[in-house]
Amino acid sequence: MTIEISDKTYDEEFVKKVEDISGENFHKCMQCGTCSGGCPMIEHMDIPPRRIMILTHFGLKDEVICSKTAWICATCNACSVRCPRGIELTKVMEAIRQLTLRKNINYVEPSAISEETIADLPQIALVSCFRKHTS
Amino acid sequence: MKISYYPGCTLKTKAKNMDHPGIAALKALGVELVELPRWNCCGAVFSLADDDLLHLLAPVRDLIRVVEQGDNKLVVACSMCYNTLARANLLMQENSEKRHTINTFMEEERDYNGEVEVVHLLSFLRDEIGWEKIRESIKVPLKGLKIAPYYGCTLLRPQSVAIEPPEKRTLFKDLLETLGATVVDFPASNDCCSSYQILSNPDVGIEAVSKILESAESWGADAIVTSCPLCEYNLGKRQEDALKKHDTLKELPTFYFTQLLALALGLGAEVCKFELNYNGATRLMESKNFLTVV
Ligand code: SF4
Ligand code: SF4
């Protein structure tokens, strides 16, 4: 996939927001791929975590926001504990999700969950899912 | 000895088979787990957004309840609650700016400065009770039971709240060996079970579950033991879906560590509540004669 990078594609506000919400300096990513290599969800992602880091660094907002990667991430922290640059990718993923959720857009719609599912699930599944996937 | 105890929402409802045997086992070992008065849901996951302090109020309130009890230690059995409470506590200890904002915002509460120590029940067993004392109290050694200890994510990550160094982990192994079981140290022991993705993206969840089951089975385990009700749900109840998808997998019972502890201490099936576990938990224990001895 070829991606055009220029002044026109750089979304400064997006970069600033991810920096602020995550509190992480993802610009120091050296693209080693350790995060992607240890990610248990990678086969279900459209863009690997390593690539999310560089796309965010280059301010390519649409690629990052429209990717399903941050929604597939299970916040398992396997990447964060292994990153040789000490980047907490889980926080970057959270910031990316927040950019959508803070617009009042839900990834999971609580009202669409069936009564049987709610009765079946342990409370921590519902609470953690709503915390990560609803606005 | 009395100690403050935080059960969390799931242990009071869906995971009574983790809560009850834990309380009973500790009682048998001379420790009274005193449920925190007026505890609230901790939020299940730690807030990762740097500008979000609102979701820290719930876990911090729980920690304030501990101080109000005149206690300085809180024992937590659920791994997700442990992770959330321990991380919130760490933030209150280390980040003076956020601590100040949170304390000021919670006008009705006393100030909290991270005075409480948040301890997982597994660490408590090792550090405060000790393997020796547990070994002396065993009535039903779990001889011949091959158990795969499943840590999952929240006991070991991030490092700041890990119950032990992930690369040198022995706690689960030491406990299970103390109970007389055979430990199957399998490679997927701290892989992710998909957590809340079981609800958001069930197919992704079932694949993660299948890989963990496959790993435990190929290393010869009779069962898996966990310390998290969401891991237990995913690996236990949702195992049905994994088995349907992969015909190479076979049924593998899942247990909470509190159940195995209570069983070995001779507290019997009534306390252990194996009927609340899924897929052949009772059957396995019966086949090993652990239920008839009592
Ligand atoms: S592990 Fe860290 S440095 Fe390496 S690619 Fe991932 S984020 Fe970048
Ligand atoms: S936290 Fe998310 S991105 Fe990182 S390894 Fe786990 S699932 Fe992958």
What tens digit of pLDDT does each residue of B146-194 get?
A: 999 999 999 999 999 999 999 899 999 999 999 999 999 999 999 999 9
Which of the four pLDDT bands, split at 50, 70 and 90, describes residue B292?
A: confident
ipTM entry: 0.96
Residues of A in Cβ contact (< 8 Å) with B200: 71, 107-108, 129, 132-133
The CA angle A92-A93-A96, to the nearest 5 degrees, is: 90
CB of B166 less than 8 A from some CB of A:
yes
Run of H or E residues at B59: helix B57-68
Tens-digit pLDDT string for chain A (135 aa): 688 889 999 999 999 999 999 999 999 999 999 999 999 999 999 999 999 999 999 999 999 999 999 999 999 999 999 999 999 999 999 999 999 999 999 999 999 999 999 999 999 999 999 999 999
Residue percentage of chain B with pLDDT more than 90: 97
Q: Which of A51, A38, A43, A30 is nearest to A96 (CA)?
A: A51
Cα separation, B154 vs B116, in Å, equals 20
**Contact criterion met (CB below 8 Å) for B57 and B102:** yes
Q: A125 at the B interface (CB within 8 A)?
A: yes
Structure tokens at B54: 């609102």
Q: Which residues of A touch B153 (CB under 8 A)?
A: 75-78
Q: How many helices (H) and strands (E) does chain A have?
A: 9, 0
The number of the ligand nearest the C-alpha atom of B195 reads 2
Please report the residues numbered 9 through 38 in chain A whose beta carbons come closer than 8 angstroms to any beta carbon of chain B: 20-23
The closest of A76, A78, A98, A70 to B79, measured between CA atoms, is A76
Give the whole-angstrom CA distance, residue B277 versus residue B20: 13
In this structure, what token pair is assigned to residue A127? 């609470």
The verdict on a CB contact (< 8 Å) between A117 and B196 is no
Residues forming beta bridges with residue B74, ordered by sequence position: B4, B118
Average pLDDT over residues B97-110: 97
A31 alpha carbon to ligand 1 midpoint, in Å?
A: 5
As given in the structure block, the two tokens for residue A4 are: 């055009």
Q: Is B230 close to A125, i.e. CB distance below 8 A?
A: yes
Q: Which of A73, A132, A133 to mutate to test the pocket of ligand 2 (most atoms within 8 A of CB)?
A: A73
Q: What is the pLDDT confidence band of residue B293, given thresholds at 50, 70 and 90? A: low
The closest-lying atom of ligand 2 relative to the alpha carbon of residue A38 is 5
Residue A133 in contact with partner chain B when CB distance is under 8 A: yes
DSSP bridge partners of B75: B5, B119
A77 lines ligand 2 (CB under 6 A): yes
In this predicted structure, what is the pLDDT of residue B51? 96
On whether any CB of chain B is under 8 Å from the CB of A120, the answer is: yes
Cα B136 from chain centre: 24
Amino acid at B82: Y
Tens of pLDDT, residues B9-62:
999 999 999 999 999 999 999 999 999 999 999 999 999 999 999 999 999 999
**Spatial distance between the Cα atoms of A52 and A65, rounded to a whole number of angstroms:** 10
Nearest residue by C-alpha to atom 1 in ligand 1: A83
Select from A39, A98, A115, A124 the residue whose CB has the most chain B CBs within 10 Å, as the one to mutate to test that interface: A124
| Atom 4 in ligand 2: residue holding the nearest Cα | A79
How far is residue B55 from each of residues A132, B45, B51, B282, measured CA to CA in Å?
Answer: 12, 9, 10, 39
Considering chain B, what is the average pLDDT of its residues?
A: 96
Q: Which of B15, B24, B2, B23 is nearest to B266 (CA)?
A: B24
Smallest CA–CA separation between B48 and chain A, in Å? 5
Q: Report CB contact under 8 Å: B14, A123.
A: yes
> Cα(B179) to centroid of ligand 2, in Å?
34
Q: Which residues of B133-160 are buried (b: 16+ CB within 10 A; e: fewer)?
A: ebeebbebebeebbbbbbbbbbbbbbee
Separation between Cα atoms, residue B8 and residue B40, nearest integer Å: 8
- Tell me the pLDDT tens digit for each residue of B254-278: 999 999 999 999 999 999 999 999 9
Residue B294, pLDDT > 60, answer no
- Beta-strand pair B32-35/B73-76: unpaired
Q: Are residues A44 and B204, on separate chains, in Cβ contact within 8 Å? A: yes
- Helix (H) / strand (E) containing B117: strand B117-120
**How much is the average pLDDT of B285-290?**
94
Determine contact: B167 vs chain A, CB below 8 A.
no
Q: Is A41's CB within 8 Å of B199's CB?
A: no
Could you check whether the bond before residue B158 is cis, i.e. omega within 30 degrees of 0?
A: yes
| Percent with pLDDT over 70 in chain B | 99
Residue B279 is predicted with a pLDDT of: 79
Residue A78 CA: nearest ligand 2 atom is 5
